Amino acid sequence: MKLYAVKYAESVFGENHIFKGGDPEVLLPIHFVIFLIEDEKRRILIDAGCDTMPGWDMRHFESPSVILERAGIPCDSITDVVLTHFHHDHVEAVKYFKNAVAHIQKDEYELCKGYFPEGMKIETFTDKKELPLGIKAIKIGAHSVGSCIVEFPIGDKTGVISGDEVYSKKVIDIAKNGNGYHPRTVEFAKKYSDSEKYKVFVMHEPEYLDGTNGVMLIYDSNEKL
């Protein structure tokens, strides 16, 4: 199994939107990233990304579909798309993956059903969905009504793609102590801050391919990265 980060844009976000009590005058860098998990039989995207973002100052902005194709990963080879929540920057580009099965929490689907192309197979779930490769989509519901995270095996740990339950890894350390966060965010932070058991991947953390876009291999079960 391989895990890739697909980075397609950069922007900034007010500190107050990233940390409780943050300064709205301070703008922090954020990246726009989706993830790809694959083996010999499946290519599973975690979120689809977007190719428009009205009102945002976006840099190095390309549709994830373009980046995947350029990397030799045809959009029609994607077998599944797991969508963490209904927001535009996570769902809009699902239209490019028409051969895939889309997996989305049922309340989130009701909020974004207009994004899906006609004829696309959609499977909704309530609290949890198990997929091949040991992947699990799990409802947290802190960021939005049915927002989810994704767990998957990564070596001797469990990998966790956070969706937008947190925008920064630093939030996990802050939120586990409460600090006014949504109770479910606190529960998430308390559980997944255990670095002996979990490795967390945050979709807007500026840690991949700064200043450029691309598909970056970050884990290969056949190699020690």
Residue-wise pLDDT for 169-225, tens only, equals: 988 988 888 876 889 999 999 999 999 999 999 999 999 999 999 999 999 998 854
Q: How far, CA to CA in Å, does 82 sit from each of 90, 122, 144?
A: 10, 10, 16
- DSSP line for 152-190: EEETTEEEEE-TTS-SSHHHHHHHTT-TT--HHHHHHHH
pLDDT at 63: 97
Q: Which of 155, 166, 148 is nearest to 199 (CA)?
A: 155
pLDDT at 102: 98
pLDDT at 100: 98
CA distance 213 to 173: 28
Q: How far, CA to CA in Å, does 209 sit from each of 6, 76, 92, 166, 213?
A: 9, 25, 22, 20, 6
CA distance 225 to 221: 9
Ordered per-residue pLDDT tens for the chain, 225 residues: 999 999 999 999 999 888 888 899 999 999 999 999 999 999 999 999 999 999 999 999 999 999 999 999 999 999 999 999 999 999 999 999 999 999 999 999 999 999 999 999 999 999 999 999 999 999 999 999 999 999 999 999 999 999 999 999 988 988 888 876 889 999 999 999 999 999 999 999 999 999 999 999 999 998 854
- Indicate the pTM of the whole model: 0.96
pLDDT at 115: 98
pLDDT at 224: 58
- Position of tokens 């040991």? 134
pLDDT at 177: 84
pLDDT at 182: 85
* CA contacts within 13 A on the Cβ side of 86: 16
DSSP 3-state of 208: coil
pLDDT at 22: 86
The tokens of 161 are what? Answer: 């793609």
Biggest CA–CA distance in the chain, Å, is 47
Q: How far, CA to CA in Å, does 12 sit from each of 79, 151, 225?
A: 32, 27, 30
CA distance 220 to 86: 29
- Runs of H (alpha helix) within the chain: 15-18, 64-70, 88-91, 106-112, 169-175, 183-192
Q: How far, CA to CA in Å, does 147 sit from each of 155, 196, 208?
A: 26, 25, 24
